[in-house]
Amino acid sequence: MKKNKNLIMLSMISLLSSCFVSSINSICKEEKSIVIPELNGIWQGEHTRWTFNPSKDSVFYDLGYEECQDPIDQTSFYSKCTFSDFKTQFTKIDGVTYVNFQLADKGVTDNVFEMCHFMDVQSFAKVVINENTMNVFMPNHQWLEKHLTKHPEELKHIKKDNRIIITASTKELRDFVSKNQNKRAFFKESIELLKKAI
Q: Which domain, by its residues, includes 172?
A: 2-195
Mean pLDDT of 134-155: 95
pLDDT grade, residue 41 (50/70/90)?
Answer: very high
- pLDDT tens-digit readout, 42-77: 999 988 899 999 987 678 899 999 888 766 665 555
**Number of other residues whose CB lies within 10 A of the CB of residue 196:** 12
Q: Which distant-in-sequence residues (6+ apart) come within 8 Å of 61 by Cβ?
A: 39, 52, 53, 54, 55, 87, 88, 89, 90
- 196 touches 42 (CB < 8 A): yes
- pLDDT tens-digit readout, 153-193: 999 999 887 788 999 999 999 999 999 999 999 999 899 99
pLDDT of res. 71:
65
pLDDT of res. 12:
44
How far is it, in rounded angstroms, from Cα 89 to Cα 102? 9
DSSP secondary structure of 119-163: TS-EEEEEEEEETTEEEEE-B-HHHHHHHHHH-GGGS-EEEETTE
Residue 105 pLDDT exceeds 70: yes
pLDDT of res. 84:
85
- pLDDT tens-digit readout, 112-129: 666 666 667 899 999 999
What percent of the chain is predicted at pLDDT more than 90?
52
Per DSSP bridges, beta strands 22-23 and 122-130 are antiparallel
pLDDT of res. 192:
95
How far is it, in rounded angstroms, from Cα 52 to Cα 126? 16
* Position with higher pLDDT, 68 vs 94: 94
Number of folded domains that form the chain? 1
- 49 touches 66 (CB < 8 A): yes
195: enclosing H helix or E strand: strand 191-195
pLDDT of res. 4:
45
Residue 98 pLDDT exceeds 60: yes
